[in-house]
């Protein structure tokens, strides 16, 4: 395990790198960090961001597929923090220069109507705790400086999360129905998923998140936002400008990157 001093040093450098849009330079030296220490560094960076006035808005779930976990050398999903100052609204204009190899995932987000505690994680209880659901454009700094597998680097870098764009909220009880989910770059469909059933396919890892957070004495609260996990890997924007995520059941969201 890394010492507390090493954790502090790495966390400070990680935050400097993030602010300079050059994330994870500590991994250029091919350092080896355990999964446990990766979580410790992520938490230390979180405390530094809180001290300078930033606020956590909720949590993201990542690496929900076994294929992605295998690529990253993980045996379970990943999670990271969402930050209020990195939350954007449908139609926002963003600058590519504010990200490092910006890449996109299409997914869904939820807002909770009540606290979720580790002893209350039945699927029906979680479903009944959803106040709103909305389509999401999740933005990543899609860069890894270390050697594969990249699991520890991913976790240290807050699951490479760099912000998200919220679509219109769908409130009230949504009956069990199927939806598609599509990612479009400049009106061209880049990726698509069909026959995803609400709520089962979309909320499948929320109970896992609640239990994992509890291990670090963190708890999901009323009004928290949760990004429920993408079904594929991030896709770099490259030369594209208009980014859209569409869902037949939950609506659309867009952003322009210049």
* Vertex 59: Cα angle to 115 and 48 (nearest 5): 110
Strand-pair category, 188-198 with 251-257: unpaired
Closest CA to 236 of 67, 100, 109, 65: 100
Determine the pLDDT at residue 222: 97
End-to-end Cα spacing for the chain: 42
What does pLDDT average to over the chain? Answer: 96
Determine the pLDDT at residue 171: 87
Residue 173 has pLDDT above 80, yes or no: no
What dihedral angle (degrees, nearest 10) is formed by the CA atoms of 191, 193, 194, 195?
Answer: -170
Strand-pair category, 130-141 with 170-171: antiparallel
Residue 174 has pLDDT above 90, yes or no: no
Quickly state the pLDDT bin for 172 (edges 50, 70, 90): confident
Rg of the chain (C-alpha set): 18
Average pLDDT over residues 37-55: 98
Q: How far apart are CA 197 and CA 231, in angstroms?
A: 13
DSSP string, 61-85: EE--SHHHHHHHT-SS-EEEEEEGG
Q: Could you name the CATH architecture of 57-257?
A: Alpha-Beta Complex (3.90)
Could you read off the pLDDT of 84-142 as tens digits, one per residue?
A: 999 999 999 999 999 999 999 999 999 999 999 899 899 999 999 999 999 999 999 99
The pTM for the full model equals 0.96
Residue 14 has pLDDT above 90, yes or no: yes
Average pLDDT over residues 175-203: 96
Residue 228 has pLDDT above 90, yes or no: yes
Compute the Cα dihedral for 110, 111, 113, 114 and give only its sign.
positive
How many alpha carbons lie under 13 Å from residue 186 in its C-beta half-sphere?
7
In order of 7, 23, 29, 54, 165, the CA distances from 84 in angstroms are 25, 19, 32, 7, 11
Determine the pLDDT at residue 201: 96
Q: How far apart are CA 163 and CA 243, in angstroms?
A: 14
Percentage of the chain exceeding pLDDT 90: 96
């Amino acid at each position: 395990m890394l010492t507390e001093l090493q954790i502090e040093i790495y966390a400070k450098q990680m935050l400097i790198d993030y602010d300079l849009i050059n994330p994870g330079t500590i991994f250029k030296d091919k350092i080896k960090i355990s999964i446990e220490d990766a979580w410790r560094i992520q938490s230390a960076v979180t405390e530094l961001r809180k001290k300078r006035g930033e606020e956590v808005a909720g949590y993201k779930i990542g690496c929900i597929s076994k294929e992605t976990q295998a690529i990253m050398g993980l045996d379970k999903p990943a999670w990271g923090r969402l930050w209020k100052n990195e939350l954007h609204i449908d139609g926002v204009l963003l600058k590519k220069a504010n990200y490092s190899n910006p890449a996109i995932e299409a997914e869904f987000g939820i807002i909770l109507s009540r606290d979720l505690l580790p002893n209350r994680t039945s699927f029906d209880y979680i479903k009944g705790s959803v106040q709103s659901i909305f389509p999401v454009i999740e933005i990543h700094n899609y860069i890894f400086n270390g050697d594969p597998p990249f699991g520890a680097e991913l976790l240290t870098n807050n699951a490479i999360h760099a912000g998200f764009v919220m679509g219109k909220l769908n409130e009230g009880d949504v009956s069990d129905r199927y939806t598609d989910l599509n990612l479009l770059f400049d009106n061209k469909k880049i990726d698509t998923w069909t026959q995803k059933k609400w709520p089962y396919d979309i909320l499948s890892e929320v109970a896992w998140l609640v239990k994992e957070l509890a291990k670090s004495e963190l708890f999901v609260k009323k009004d928290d936002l949760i990004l429920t996990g993408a079904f594929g890997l991030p896709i770099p924007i490259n030369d594209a400008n208009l980014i859209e995520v569409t869902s037949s059941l939950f609506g659309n969201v867009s952003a322009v990157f210049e």
